[in-house]
Amino acid sequence: MSNPISNASRWNEIALRRAIDAAGVALWSWNVDTDYFDMDERSCELWDVLPSGNLTFADLSEKIHPADRDRVQAAFTATRAVIGPFEIDFRTLIGHKVRWISARGRGSDEDIVNRVMMGVFLDVTGRKQAEESNELLAGEMSHRVKNLLAIASVLARVTSKSAENVGDMTSQLVNRLSALGRAHDLVRPLPGHQGTAALLGDIFTVLLTPYDDGTAFAGRIRIAVPRMGIGEHAATALALVVHELATNSLKYGSLSSSEGVLDVSGSVVDDRVHIVWTERGGPEIADLSSDHGFGSKLVRSTVEDTFRGTITYDWATEGAVVSLDLKAESLAS
């Protein structure tokens, strides 16, 4: 006849082990007199060591990330004077692999059993990576908001100087900020590390869609540019350029006419990106090369400073042709 107490003890041991395995808990004990560590199989896997009765704290310290080593050694020494539970998170560096471990136990030499301190290790790498990602995301969002506020402040200041009245300033500023907003909506990671914000073609498509929005003249805007990713800073700057070109076209060029068409084409040659903005079918235009308005200055300074490029205008009577020559590397920033 079986012993019910023995069976209950055995069941409790099995249940405990299953619970420990399910939780991913690794067990350890530390003899405070001999400095020897005794660890279960999961702990040995975490530390990439073989089971051994001669494993010391110094042996494990060699596998702790150099940036955390002194902190962990000081914390473990201090646990002998700390009454109650303790917890410390740190990194291990084994080969080129970094892993986050949380060591938990109960401190104080008082009432210690057989001079052995008990505790657990938890692999918290996933949680730490998630926390780091959240911190990076928060920092990135803060950076973007600050950048947009800075750009908005500059736009408000310079637009006020070029506007004829409050209504004109409001209209110009709202349109420019809306263009920035539409470009910002495109920001997303791209595969292949080709920029970090959007596709070049998406910038033109999204910003020019309001001028080709399903009317009887839909399809008058054609875009054929290289498929390449651009960075957040470049996307914001390019949005301003496209918006100013579209605004001029709406005032004086092909977009002001129901029969006008706009072709945006591009190519990549060596380390340069060439974009040609061609307007046809609009009203005849005069030579606007002497135009020194804020919009023109904004476009030129953006192309030269941000994209390390050039912009040229051909004011042909049948329509303007604007040529952009941009440094390919600058589009990824």
pLDDT per residue rounded down to tens, the chain (333 residues) = 445 445 555 557 677 777 777 777 888 888 877 878 888 888 888 888 887 767 888 888 888 999 898 888 888 777 766 667 778 899 998 888 888 988 887 765 555 656 777 788 888 888 888 887 677 566 656 655 665 565 566 557 656 766 778 887 787 777 767 766 665 666 554 444 445 567 888 888 887 876 665 444 457 889 999 988 888 778 878 888 887 888 788 778 888 777 889 999 999 999 999 999 999 988 877 655 545 555 677 788 888 888 999 999 988 888 889 999 999 999 887
**287 lies in the same domain as 253:** yes
**159 lies in the same domain as 89:** no
Instruction: State which of 71, 91, 123 marks the end of a domain.
Output: 123
**75 lies in the same domain as 213:** no
- Domains in the chain: how many in total? 2
CATH number of the domain that residue 64 is part of: 3.30.450.20
Instruction: State which of 102, 123, 144 marks the end of a domain.
Output: 123
Amino acid at 197: A
Q: What residues are paired with 36 via a beta bridge? A: 56
Closest CA to 197 of 119, 144, 146: 144
CATH number of the domain that residue 253 is part of: 3.30.565.10
The per-residue pLDDT for 268 is: 93
Instruction: Give the DSSP per-residue string, 307-329.
Output: SS-EEEEEEETTEEEEEEEEEGG
Instruction: State which of 103, 123, 143 marks the end of a domain.
Output: 123
* 263 vs 241: CA distance, rounded Å: 16
3-state secondary structure of 216: coil
Closest CA to 298 of 237, 254, 234: 237
Range of the domain at 268: 129-332
pTM of the model: 0.47
**98 lies in the same domain as 148:** no
**325 lies in the same domain as 279:** yes
Tokens encoding 331: 């589009």
* 78 vs 140: CA distance, rounded Å: 38
CB 233 within 8 A of CB 239: no
**286 lies in the same domain as 203:** yes
Torsions phi, psi for 286 (to 5 deg): -85, 170
Torsions phi, psi for 130 (to 5 deg): -65, -40
**203 lies in the same domain as 285:** yes
* 233 vs 231: CA distance, rounded Å: 6
State the burial class of residue 243 (Cβ atoms within 10 Å of its Cβ: 0-12, 13-18, 19+): buried
Cite the DSSP H helix spans in 24-124: 41-47, 57-61, 66-78
